[in-house]
Structure 1
Amino acid sequence: MTTTLPTIQRQSNPLLTVMRAAGRAGVAVLLRGKPGIGKSALMAALADAEGLPMETVIASLREPADFAGLPVVQAGGVDLAPPSWASRLAAAENGGYLFLDELTTAPPAVQAAALRVVLDRVVGDLTLPHGVRIVAAANPPEQAADGWDLAAPLANRFLHIDHEPSTDDWIDGMITGFTLPASGRVLDYNPVLRAAARAEVAAFIRTRPDLLHVLPEDDAATGRAWPSNRTWTMTADVLAFLDPGDTPAALLAVTGLVGEGPATEFITWRAMQDLPDPADVLANPESVAWADLEPSRAWAILTGVTAYATADRTKGGWIDAWKPLAVAATAGLQDVAAANARALLNTRPTNTNPPASARAFLSILSDAGLIPTEAAA
Structure 2
Amino acid sequence: MLSVAYRARRAVLLEGPTGIGKSEIVRHVAEELGIATAILDLSLLEPPDLVGLPIVKDDRTHYALPSVLPREGAGILLLEELNRAERYIQQPALQLLSARRLHEYELPPGWTCVATVNPQTAEYHVTALDKALRARFLQVNVRADRGAWLAWAQTHDLHPGIVALAHAHERILEDVPPRTWAYASELLRAFSPAELADGMLLRDALGGYLPAAWVEALLASRDSWGSRLSFDVRELLATYSPESPRAREIAGFRERGETDRLDEIVSRLAPLLAGPEAGVLVAQKQLVLGSFEALLADLPGDQREKLQEALGSNVTATSLADIEPNDFLTRFAGSAAEKKLAAWRADPVKRHRISLAVTALRTFVEQPARLPELKKSNMARTCLGHVLTQLPDPDAMALVETLKRVGITPVRPGT
- Name the TM-score class by shorter chain: 0.3 to 0.5
TM-score, with structure 1 as normaliser:
0.39
Higher relative contact order (CA 8 A, sep 6+): 1
Greater C-alpha radius of gyration: 2
